[in-house]
Amino acid sequence: MSKIPRSFRLLEELENGEKGFGPESCSYGLTDADDNTMTNWNGTILGPPHSNHENRIYSLAIECGPNYPDEPPKVKFISKINLPCVDQTSGEVVAKNFHTLRDWKRSYTMQTVLLDLRKDMATATNKKLPQPEEGSTF
Amino acid sequence: MASLPKRIIKETERLVTDPVPGITAEPHDDNLRYFQVTIEGPAGSPYEEGLFQLELYLPDDYPMEAPKVRFLTKIYHPNIDRLGRICLDILKTNWSPALQIRTVLLSVQALLASPNPNDPLANDVAEDWIKNEQGAKQTAREWTQRYAKK
């Protein structure tokens, strides 16, 4: 397999996001439609059912730096959430505490990150964690 | 990296030994399927005297699949969007393996010479072009001066 360059990879992800391919439980798009470096993205995760996150919509900010996808994006929750991998002051997803960012592979996408975060919300221990008031932000 | 297909090697060589006037295409040292491209704005078009930077990538399935091409330089054109994506039939539905990097870049250059505002790529530039062609061309000239000056 050859290495698809950053920009064409991000254009593919953008198209998949715009066309609404993939699951309905998460979405993502460019923060600024004019930014041709395609660095800043916003994402949403629909809280998984049968958990304290049920029916909540979480907003996130995703930053794909110049070395993406060789390096993972920086991911930060805007909506307040109580999860072990999320820094409780900044909302940042701490890479060393979140396997998808820690063991990053070039084939992973923003969608991988969002779906894996959603899975993390639904684990036996995390789904029962008390959650901040809905709608509060970091 | 997997070895490069002969077809790509030949095309790359020919781009160097027999370049297309007004167009350069050079592969990156660390990714021979990824080209840095420049296209000179065609004479007589609003892009005249501009030098536009593009990037081109040959996907794994090339030549069964079309190359991916994008403008890096900002350009005011009804068939090129704000992210530099190009609306050109041969890059999508009308791609044929008989086409080459060279023919693709010539088509992009031709698109600069004759914009097609009636193409379904719906954007504000196309609308401007249809409503006020002279004004739109003036804007295109200004953008060329501002972003693509040689």
Instruction: Tell me the domain boundaries of chain A.
Output: 6-122
Q: Which tens digits make up the pLDDT trace of A79-97? A: 999 999 999 999 999 999 9
Q: Strand, helix or coil at A100?
A: helix
The Cα–Cα gap between A130 and A123 comes to 14
d(CA A28, CA A36): 16
Q: How does pLDDT run across A25-40, given as a tens digit for each residue?
A: 999 999 998 899 999 9
Q: Report in angstroms the alpha-carbon separations of A26 from A119, A128, A131, B25, B126.
A: 12, 21, 19, 39, 32
Average pLDDT of each block of 10 consecutive residues along chain B (150 residues)? 85 93 95 96 96 97 96 95 93 95 96 87 84 95 94
Model pLDDT, residue A95:
96
List B residues 67-126 in contact with A (Cβ-Cβ < 8 A). 68, 70, 72, 74, 82-85
Instruction: Give residue A127's pLDDT.
Output: 94
Which among B100, B103, B19 has a CA at the least distance from the CA of B58? B100
Q: Which residue of A has its CA nearest to B84?
A: A36
Is the pLDDT at A117 greater than 80? The verdict is yes
Q: What is the architecture of the domain spanning A6-122?
A: Roll (3.10)
Cβ-nearest to A2 among B1, B72, B84: B1
pTM summary value: 0.92
Which DSSP category does B63 fall into? Answer: T
